[in-house]
Amino acid sequence: MTVPAEGIVGPAPVRRQRNPVLQSEAARGLSLISPTLIYAVIFLVVPILLVLANSFWTQHYLEIDRTFTLENYRVALTDPIYRDLLLRSLWISLLVSFFTVTLAYPIAYFISFHGGVHKGLWLFLITIPFWTSYLLRVMSWKVILGYNGVLNSTLMGLGLTDGPSDAFLYNTTAVVITLTHAWATFAVLPIFVSLEKIDRTLVEAATDLGDGPLRRFLRITLPLSVPGIISAVLIVMIPTVGDFVTPRLVGGKDGVMIANAIQAQFGKAANWPLGAALSVTTMAVVTAMAAFIVVTIRMAARRAR
């Protein structure tokens, strides 16, 4: 029987070393992320911080008093003009989101389920209107809805009206129509992607179990496409709240939105702190509304299932 020598406890512990391959992959990943991170910080985070800082200052003629104050937020939240403009902007953005998604969903559904081998061609065709300038498309709606425009001429030609009407332009309706057309494609694409991810065997199984087309759509297709619907709503709603070109060209006094007031404060009024406070307030309200819409749509989808 061999007795181990005194003082020898056992083999020395082996030190674990990180795999150099993993280290190199992590370094490569950070090198790929860092340009994007730097870009986001410079062109997104820094401007937002500057706007936020300006919102706590005060404008005195041509000078800015950098003393901390909440007066700009009090004006932004309590002044009836800005409050009404913000509510109108939210209402218009909700209407545009609703009509855009309602029009985009059947198009995306047709391309996904009936497009066959020509899906790419259909997606290409719906992007053709966006080859032209945004301003040109807005001005085309101004020609269509104008007092002597295409719509009035058509109605008079069909004998439906005795003369041209000014009810189609320079109001909220004109803004909603123009923005709905402008953002239609941006709503089609996320819905199409969501529909493409649906397992077609689920639809076939529902058919085998006796579900009709409407029941299959309500129980399977629509609930599973909710992520695309949410994406489309957010893609359309958030930018339309801050649109100031369309209301200025086709909205008139009845279609003015909060972005027009913000643009006026940064421009003609030269009151950057108040404009910054209006911007921050609008961002906060839109963020809260977007979160509420996402939760509401998800809860409706769960109940539908």
Neighbours of 149 (CB within 10 A): 17
Main-chain phi, psi angles of 75, to 5 degrees: -65, -45
Report domain 81-304's class. mainly alpha
The CA-atom distances, in angstroms, between 59 and each of 39, 174, 263, 280 are 31, 35, 16, 17
pLDDT of residue 23: 60
Q: Mapping DSSP to helix (H, G, I), strand (E, B) and coil, where does residue 198 land?
A: coil
* Per-position pLDDT tens, the chain of length 305: 455 555 445 555 555 555 555 566 766 766 667 787 788 888 888 999 999 999 999 988 878 899 999 999 999 999 999 999 999 999 999 999 999 999 999 999 999 999 988 999 999 998 888 888 888 999 999 999 998 889 999 999 998 888 888 889 999 999 999 999 999 989 999 999 999 999 999 988 988 888 888 999 988 999 899 999 999 999 999 999 999 999 999 998 888 999 999 999 999 888 999 999 999 999 999 999 999 998 988 887 777 66
Ranges of each domain in the chain: 81-304
pLDDT of residue 232: 95
Please give the Cα distance from 236 to 234 (Å, whole number): 5
What own/partner pairs with CB < 8 Å and gap ≥ 24 does 172-176 have? 172/88, 172/92, 172/251, 172/254, 172/255, 174/141, 174/145, 174/250, 174/251, 174/252, 174/255, 175/92, 175/246, 175/247, 175/250, 175/251, 175/255, 175/257, 176/92, 176/95, 176/96, 176/99
